[in-house]
């Protein structure tokens, strides 16, 4: 994939943090803030950024664990898994949302984005953050992949005023079927919210670095996401 990528710094009152920027071949396009899983802005998340850049988007993935260590990159098993869970539990959710706000300000300020629209796309922990980013009114559209915890924040459902696309796996052992059902019911009367459930797909089905990778579900979800983004941005 021919993309132009680099790490850039984002300034906040608390200090600087890094964000991985990937530009499309044409140099310009709508913006995407890409929100990480609990494993940091690792190779997989950078690959996803490059994939969306190849699809024509300007992608910026903030390092949301920077307060605990810059550019932490983890794998998916054993000690790395344990560390990832600890990092997530130690993350101040309000501060993470502030970091996303700062990232979006930088993203919208890039010449490559100009006056184009922007969306958030998040995976797992980032999926939940993408939902909140939409509820906070910071983006023009949002995508959430297996966003764990959305079912516990449905009091914000009425705050969602932009189109949202959610992807879930039917065999996700982190997000029970009942949780997906409660999310669907909360948005029953909101035609802007679209929910897809992929059969035989487990948690993390989009990540080809994980044993739960499901090629068919990942392809379908990516296709659905591109159609959604193409219509909304």
Q: Does residue 1 have a pLDDT over 70?
A: no
Enter the tokens of residue 105: 């300000």
pLDDT (tens digit per residue) in 201-221: 999 999 999 999 999 999 999
Let me know if 31 is exposed, middle or buried by CB neighbors in 10 A (0-12, 13-18, 19+).
Answer: buried
Q: Does residue 90 have a pLDDT over 80?
A: yes
Categorize the per-residue pLDDT at 2 as very low, low, confident or very high, splitting at 50, 70 and 90. Answer: low
Categorize the per-residue pLDDT at 107 as very low, low, confident or very high, splitting at 50, 70 and 90. Answer: very high
In this predicted structure, what is the pLDDT of residue 7? 97
Interatomic CA distance for residues 216 and 205, integer angstroms: 9
Three-class SS of residue 11? strand
Return mean pLDDT, the chain.
96
pLDDT (tens digit per residue) in 138-177: 999 999 999 999 999 999 999 999 999 999 999 999 999 9
Judge contact between 31 and 107, C-beta under 8 A.
yes
Categorize the per-residue pLDDT at 3 as very low, low, confident or very high, splitting at 50, 70 and 90. Answer: low
Q: What is the mean pLDDT of residues 59-72?
A: 96
Of 198, 160, 209, 166, residue with least CA distance to 184: 166
Interatomic CA distance for residues 233 and 121, integer angstroms: 13
In this predicted structure, what is the pLDDT of residue 47? 97
Q: What is the mean pLDDT of residues 98-106?
A: 97
Interatomic CA distance for residues 223 and 201, integer angstroms: 16
Q: What percent of the chain has pLDDT over 90?
A: 97
**Residue 205 half-sphere exposure toward CB, CA atoms < 13 A:** 29
Q: What is the mean pLDDT of residues 57-64?
A: 98
Question: Which residues are catalytically annotated?
Answer: 172, 203
Q: What is the mean pLDDT of residues 32-37?
A: 98
Strands 141-145 and 164-169: parallel
Interatomic CA distance for residues 72 and 215, integer angstroms: 27
Q: What is the mean pLDDT of residues 54-70?
A: 96
Categorize the per-residue pLDDT at 181 as very low, low, confident or very high, splitting at 50, 70 and 90. Answer: very high
Q: Does residue 98 have a pLDDT over 70?
A: yes
Interatomic CA distance for residues 32 and 48, integer angstroms: 11
Judge contact between 185 and 193, C-beta under 8 A.
no
**Domains delineated in the chain:** 4-232 (3.40.50.1820)
Q: Give backbone dihedrals phi and psi of 59, rounded to 5 degrees, phi first.
A: -115, 130
């Amino acid at each position: 994939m021919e993309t132009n990528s680099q790490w850039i710094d984002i300034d906040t009152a608390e200090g600087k943090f890094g964000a991985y920027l990937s530009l499309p071949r044409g140099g310009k396009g709508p913006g995407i803030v890409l929100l990480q899983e609990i494993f940091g802005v690792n190779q997989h998340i950078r690959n996803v950024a490059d994939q969306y850049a190849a699809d024509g988007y300007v992608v910026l993935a903030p390092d949301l664990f920077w307060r605990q260590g810059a550019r932490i990159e983890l794998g998916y098993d054993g000690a790395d898994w344990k560390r990832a869970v600890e990092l997530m539990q130690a993350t101040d959710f309000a501060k993470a949302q502030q970091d996303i706000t700062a990232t979006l300000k930088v993203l919208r300020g890039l010449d490559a984005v100009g006056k184009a629209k922007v969306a958030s796309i998040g995976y797992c922990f980032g999926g939940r953050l993408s939902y909140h980013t939409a509820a906070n009114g910071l983006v023009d559209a949002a995508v959430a992949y297996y966003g764990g915890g959305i079912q516990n924040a449905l009091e914000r459902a009425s705050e969602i005023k932009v189109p949202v696309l959610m992807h879930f796996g039917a065999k996700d052992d982190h997000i029970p079927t009942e949780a997906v059902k409660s999310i669907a019911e909360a948005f029953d009367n909101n035609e802007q919210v679209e929910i897809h459930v992929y059969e035989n797909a487990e948690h993390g089905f989009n990540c080809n670095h994980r044993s739960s990778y499901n090629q068919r579900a990942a392809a379908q979800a990516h296709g659905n996401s591109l159609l959604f983004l193409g219509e909304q941005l």
